Chains A and B, each alone.
Chain A
């Protein structure tokens, strides 16, 4: 096993860290009662730490309620973290004021899941892309149109589309426009939040390939958030698996998919239907639902559904432990023993 890990990509490992997330916590307060006091909190993200190197694509997978979208939004400060820090290129951006943050906003962009909801229906494409450029003072007014044409061409559309409105495009085309808007300001880092899950199967592949190409062309660093494990495997260098607000496992992509360590990762991979009718294998079927993030289980959050659970699992929160080269897992049963 070790042999396969060491011949894993040599690229990003040697590069500098672009994004460092440390002990990130995000709780959403729930208000209630006559005095509208905070009565409880949704613990969306609990003590999440990871880093992304320059030029690296890190996949973030998890089911609904895992906190993966909140992690993405908190990194960009679209949500304010409850505690913890987000270091971007050496600066902790969680404490920056609006004016200072703007400098970083230009370097960090997001592509949303729903291309229908994320483009203003009343604005032409030229206006939508022009806003992004103007807001960050990019390019001289005379060059604006040229830049927009070039952007559209980079995402596989043609320049004459700039005079059209969003409703004139199909879902796949709109997602290309969403990507063009994110690229307009020439960011270093992109959070792609479920960028292909609203698209038809035949269109998904086009957009995945586009992101793959752009990553190389622009030397982008990317956090690719998705629930589709096959898509994440295809595009990522490393993968983070989250469950109920916590990281269960982090590993280089090939390691995670060939020798997963955490029982949750194993169950998740086993649950994916394989497009091969001759391979109707027995699956690991997890019992029950994901517990409520308002009242997560004590100890290991996965223990209520875990096939390997023992009494100790309710007592300690398992820490991420190294189980191989760049491979961390948070489980006292499979990783804690060593």
Chain B
């Protein structure tokens, strides 16, 4: 799929590394549901992330995008979720073979993670300053005093006003936007080379979202980290991503550079998603929203063949016959659709 045997040469993205920072290959993650029954929430997902780039993973609920990120971090719920196949490597090192102790060092030091709801990763009974220092002490063996200073420095970097005072605040004393900043400060305290951000702005108001996105871009430029940005919001994707991976029902269905994906989607699902979101400016040219009919199928009741075919306006008998492979194309893109060559899915946009 997207193995990198020879360096990819995308025209726009700033990629200079020959070997990828993160390589996920043929990942399969299953969950136990009921008695001995398993569902494959992530089914054969592959992608790579290079230093300094931003990869967006886009999908709706049930697409497997968050499970993919939890698999990378090895934070799947114990005994219920497990990686059943494939590999995840960071700088060529297979994470599956690491002990829990070694993995802890990878989290924080090499990979930082932020979530949609900051309260899931902030401890309500410790101050923000304590929590950040703890991370720094654990990973960088700094003294308590130096770690506290580092915590204050980080709070300042993420734009929290009065960082000295705020370091002694508990999470509940902060607003949603402030908590998100504090979580980013914690995730970046050890200067990881990769930040995984799972819907980091979904719960925030738009003016606060704009602040956080700006902050992430700014920190990326200064610290040079790569970002895996998991979101359902195509506006955020367009704003942040260099490359895009579109997921549907546990699989990758399309990948490409952000401009290519938006200008010329090849998988009908990607095109459908783009057509179905209302754009600012619609009142100048009012028309009905295009919709994707039906609902995302349950993983336990997937259709035969292409998983999207029951909702796809272009589906034929061919689509039901066999599961389409993810086809890698010469221009570096990939698409999972047997009919893509016959379709013109270029968005019609009112200007």
Which A residues contact B (CB, under 8 angstroms)?
Answer: 63-64, 170, 172-173, 200-206, 208-209, 212, 227, 229-231, 233-234, 253-254, 257-258, 267-280, 283, 285-286, 288-290, 305
Per a CB cutoff under 8 Å, which of B60, B176, B177, B263 touches A202? B60
The residue on A at minimum CB distance from B201 is: A273
Minimum distance in angstroms from A69 CB to a CB of chain B: 14
Chain B residues closer than 8 Å to A227, beta-carbon distance:
205-206
Minimum distance in angstroms from A238 CB to a CB of chain B: 11
In the complex, whether B100 has a CB less than 8 A from a CB of chain A is: no
Which B residues contact A (CB, under 8 angstroms)?
Answer: 60-61, 161, 175-178, 205-211, 213-214, 232-239, 241, 258-259, 262-263, 272-274, 276-284, 286, 288-293, 295-296
Per a CB cutoff under 8 Å, which of B60, B208, B238, B274 touches A274? B238
Known A-B contacts A170-B295, A200-B61, A212-B288; the reply to A63 vs B283 at CB < 8 A is no
Does B178 contact A289, Cβ atoms closer than 8 Å?
yes
A-B contact pairs, 10 of them (CB 8 A): A64-B176, A200-B296, A201-B60, A208-B289, A229-B280, A230-B278, A274-B239, A275-B235, A283-B210, A288-B161
The listed residue with most A CB atoms (<10 A of its CB), out of B177, B207, B258, is: B207
The CA-CA distance from A13 to B292 in the complex, in Å, is 34
Known A-B contacts A209-B291, A271-B206; the reply to A201 vs B280 at CB < 8 A is no
Per a CB cutoff under 8 Å, which of A200, A205, A274, A286 touches B289? A205
Does B233 contact A273, Cβ atoms closer than 8 Å?
yes
Does A286 contact B207, Cβ atoms closer than 8 Å?
yes
Does A269 contact B280, Cβ atoms closer than 8 Å?
yes
The CA-CA distance from A272 to B293 in the complex, in Å, is 26
Minimum distance in angstroms from B61 CB to a CB of chain A: 6
Per a CB cutoff under 8 Å, which of B214, B237, B296 touches A285? B214
The residue on A at minimum CB distance from B213 is: A273
Per a CB cutoff under 8 Å, which of A234, A271, A276 touches B282? A234
Does B277 contact A230, Cβ atoms closer than 8 Å?
yes
Known A-B contacts A205-B276, A275-B238, A275-B277; the reply to A63 vs B207 at CB < 8 A is yes
Does B209 contact A271, Cβ atoms closer than 8 Å?
yes
Chain B residues closer than 8 Å to A258, beta-carbon distance:
283-284
The CA-CA distance from A212 to B61 in the complex, in Å, is 25
Per a CB cutoff under 8 Å, which of A63, A268, A278, A286 touches B211? A286
The residue on B at minimum CB distance from A287 is: B211
The CA-CA distance from A276 to B235 in the complex, in Å, is 7
Chain B residues closer than 8 Å to A206, beta-carbon distance:
291-293
The CA-CA distance from A55 to B85 in the complex, in Å, is 57
Known A-B contacts A227-B206, A268-B207, A275-B237; the reply to A201 vs B177 at CB < 8 A is no
What are the 8 closest A-B residue pairs judged by CB atoms, nearest first? Answer: A273-B235, A63-B205, A205-B276, A271-B210, A234-B278, A202-B292, A200-B60, A205-B289
Minimum distance in angstroms from B286 CB to a CB of chain A: 8
Minimum distance in angstroms from B238 CB to a CB of chain A: 4
Does B283 contact A254, Cβ atoms closer than 8 Å?
yes
Per a CB cutoff under 8 Å, which of B161, B207, B289 touches A271? B207
Does A272 contact B235, Cβ atoms closer than 8 Å?
yes
Minimum distance in angstroms from A158 CB to a CB of chain B: 13
The residue on B at minimum CB distance from A258 is: B284
The residue on B at minimum CB distance from A64 is: B205
Chain B residues closer than 8 Å to A63, beta-carbon distance:
205-208
The CA-CA distance from A8 to B291 in the complex, in Å, is 27
Does B206 contact A233, Cβ atoms closer than 8 Å?
no
Chain B residues closer than 8 Å to A201, beta-carbon distance:
60, 232-234, 273, 276-277
Minimum distance in angstroms from B19 CB to a CB of chain A: 27
Having A204-B277, A205-B278, A231-B278, one finds 7 other A-B pairs with CB under 8 Å, namely A200-B61, A200-B296, A201-B234, A206-B291, A229-B206, A230-B279, A234-B286
Chain A residues closer than 8 Å to B272, beta-carbon distance:
202
Per a CB cutoff under 8 Å, which of B262, B278, B284 touches A277? B262
Chain B residues closer than 8 Å to A275, beta-carbon distance:
234-235, 237-238, 262, 274, 277, 279
Known A-B contacts A200-B60, A205-B292; the reply to A268 vs B206 at CB < 8 A is yes
The CA-CA distance from A85 to B272 in the complex, in Å, is 45
The residue on B at minimum CB distance from A252 is: B283
Does B262 contact A276, Cβ atoms closer than 8 Å?
yes
